[in-house]
Amino acid sequence: MKKCPYLCLILPALLLFSSCTVVSTLNFTDNDVDNTPNLIANPSFNPYSDVAADALKSWVVHLDPPGGESSPVNIDPGVSLDGGTSLRIDASDKSVMVLSDPFPVRRYGGYYVRTSFKTNTASPPQAQMRMIVFMDNGKIVNRFKKRFQITSEWERQTLSAGFIKPGAKFGRLAYMIPPFKEGSIWIDVAGCYEVHSFHID
């Protein structure tokens, strides 16, 4: 699902600074998943290449400010909750947004998002997890978010989404990590599941 280069350039700013994000009042749980397929590709951040720039398949990383000699975001083969690898974000002066590849979304679907996080820093930043829903032309029609504090043990964060606006075609998950001064943050076992179908007259 390719979008124009211009959209790729402005997408990070739209996701970071939009004021139209809502906190969902729905409350799906793990019990609702029940063998539902995961819509997220490469949920355990497995490496797909020995070349660092090509290793993180199905995810895109945006840094603010951009550039620098090395990225604070890497696949970690030594720490994981499941699958043998995780995504590690090392301390830096950059804001980090990790964005999934698009996945299909239905207007009348109900979605359950879950991802696990941990850190070894004594002063972790407040992170944010979002599900963003788009029309086929790339226009954003819904945003759902959750803010949370990352802890020293693996902890699952969840988000429920539904009552999606007309024209919705695909969604993406986004994780926002502000700058922090020491240590690392790990992300693993990403998931988004269509767990409900709303019947609307």
Alpha carbons 141 and 197: distance in angstroms, whole number: 18
SS3 75: strand
What is the model's pLDDT at position 49? 76
The structure tokens 């720490």 sit at 79
Q: Which two tokens stand for residue 39?
A: 């819509």
Cβ count near 191 (within 10 Å): 20
What is the model's pLDDT at position 31? 73
What is the model's pLDDT at position 201? 38
- Computed on alpha carbons and rounded to an integer, the radius of gyration of the chain in Å comes to 16
What is the model's pLDDT at position 142? 95
The structure tokens 């032309």 sit at 137
Q: Which two tokens stand for residue 188?
A: 């693993």
DSSP state, residue 22: B
What is the model's pLDDT at position 19? 41
Greatest Cα-to-Cα distance within the chain, rounded to the nearest angstrom: 55
What is the model's pLDDT at position 93? 95
The 10 Å CB-count burial string (b at 16+, else e) for 110-149 is bbbbbbbbbbebeebbebbbbbbbbeeebebbbbbbbeee
What is the model's pLDDT at position 198? 66
For 60-101, what is each residue's pLDDT tens digit?
A: 999 999 988 789 999 999 999 988 999 999 999 999 999 999
Domain count, the chain: 1
Cβ count near 26 (within 10 Å): 16
Closest CA to 102 of 129, 127, 135: 135
What is the model's pLDDT at position 42? 95
Enumerate residue ranges in the chain where pLDDT < 50: 1-10, 13-14, 16-23, 201
Q: Which two tokens stand for residue 10?
A: 């402005």
Domain that residue 21 falls in? 5-197
CA-CA distances (angstroms) from residue 63 to 13, 96, 155, 164, 200? Answer: 11, 5, 24, 29, 40
CATH number where 53 lies: 2.60.120.260
What is the model's pLDDT at position 25? 57
